[in-house]
């Protein structure tokens, strides 16, 4: 299943990428990076370090350094100033590829048979919106977009009223352009991802697997636990948002999809009722997802 991962690593991005690079049923053609959780130079460097940890040579293409017409708003409070919660990764095996992310996406899509490449989107949708703007013929050849983003019935995690979610709120204009474009798209919002968490037993399971990617993921999840120190009765990590994207690509049976009529508010990035029908994941089999994640990291 050929795919390009568009990402802003990010603790949960790193877990998603390590899993996606190791499982045999995904062929990750490249990582494309965007400013989101932290600045572009850091997200691009992190992508290279994650590739080195996975041991699967995969090119990295740097993309948009800022949202469309807005200033970046990094989320260092969750991911730390290094984007990876202080977890040590090996140095990148290679410099980022010279071509920019959007040009790479267009070239890869035009070179492949139509409707054969998925975009697995773990980040603000700036790169994908620029692809739509500047290379519409290539964008029309995307097989499917699977994107983590938004909040439908659940509260969001951005804005004074907490209606929006980070990925869509970071670049609302890009989110609207992509989600309203009529492409084959599955959206995985907070409604689903908040159901997928890890506990101490799962961390121990990953350490028992013993591969470099599984141990790194255990360390990353522990960094998520550290974010909640001082709170009482913490039994689980923060939600594992981004791993839901490659897991959906491989195991759609572990997700409950609904068709919702929605649109993106242009200022806030919140999802509200609207005319655009979308396939939205509203529930998950969390035990099944944990099993699938651990099994993939054992490969």
Encode 202-224: b = buried (16+ Cβ within 10 Å), e = exposed: bbebbeebebbbbbbbbbbbbbb
Q: By residue range, what is the domain housing residue 268? A: 2-297
pLDDT over threshold 50, residue 232: no
pLDDT in tens, 26-41: 999 999 999 977 889 9
pLDDT beyond 60 at 216: yes
Tens of pLDDT, residue by residue over 52-93, are 999 999 999 999 999 998 777 766 555 566 779 889 999 999
Show Cβ contacts of residue 195 under 8 Å, excluding neighbours closer than 6 positions.
239, 283, 284, 286
Mean pLDDT value of segment 199-225: 92
pLDDT tens-digit series, residues 81-134: 677 988 999 999 999 997 799 999 999 999 999 999 999 999 999 999 999 999
For residues 152-160, average pLDDT: 90
CATH code of the domain in which 284 resides = 3.90.245.10
pTM given for the model: 0.94
* Mode of pairing for the β-strands spanning 255-264 and 276-284: antiparallel
Q: What pLDDT is stored for residue 244 in this prediction?
A: 98
pLDDT of residue 260: 98
Q: What is the mean pLDDT of the chain?
A: 92
As annotated, the active-site residues are 241
Looking at the structure of the chain, the number of domains it has is: 1
Distance between CA atoms of 164 and 81, rounded to whole angstroms? 23
């Amino acid at each position: 299943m050929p795919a390009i991962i568009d990402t802003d690593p990010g603790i949960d991005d790193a877990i998603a990428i390590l899993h996606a690079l190791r499982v045999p049923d995904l062929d990750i053609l490249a990582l494309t990076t965007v400013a989101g959780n932290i600045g572009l130079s850091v997200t691009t460097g992190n992508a290279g370090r994650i590739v080195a940890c996975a041991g699967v040579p995969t090119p990295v293409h740097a993309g948009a350094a800022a949202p469309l017409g807005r200033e970046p708003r990094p989320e260092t409070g969750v991911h730390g100033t290094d984007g990876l919660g202080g977890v040590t990764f090996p140095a990148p095996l290679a410099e980022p590829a010279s071509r920019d992310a959007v040009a790479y996406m267009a070239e890869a899509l035009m070179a492949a048979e139509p409707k054969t490449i998925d975009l697995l989107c773990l980040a603000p949708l700036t790169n994908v919106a620029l692809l739509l703007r500047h290379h519409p013929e290539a964008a029309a050849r995307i097989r499917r977009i699977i994107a983590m983003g938004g909040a439908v019935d659940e509260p969001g995690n951005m804005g004074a009223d907490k209606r929006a979610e980070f990925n869509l709120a970071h670049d609302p204009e890009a989110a609207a352009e992509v989600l309203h474009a009529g492409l084959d798209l599955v959206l995985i919002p907070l409604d689903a991802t908040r159901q997928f968490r890890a506990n101490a037993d799962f961390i121990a399971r990953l350490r028992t697997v013993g591969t470099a990617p599984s141990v790194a993921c255990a360390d990353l999840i522990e960094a998520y636990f550290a974010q909640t120190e001082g709170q009482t009765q913490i039994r689980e990590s923060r939600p594992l948002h981004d791993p839901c994207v490659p897991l959906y690509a491989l195991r759609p049976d572990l997700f409950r999809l609904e068709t919702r009529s929605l649109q993106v508010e242009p200022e806030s990035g919140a999802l509200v009722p609207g005319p655009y029908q979308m396939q939205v994941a509203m529930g998950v089999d969390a035990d099944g997802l944990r099993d699938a994640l651990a099994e993939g990291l054992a490969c």
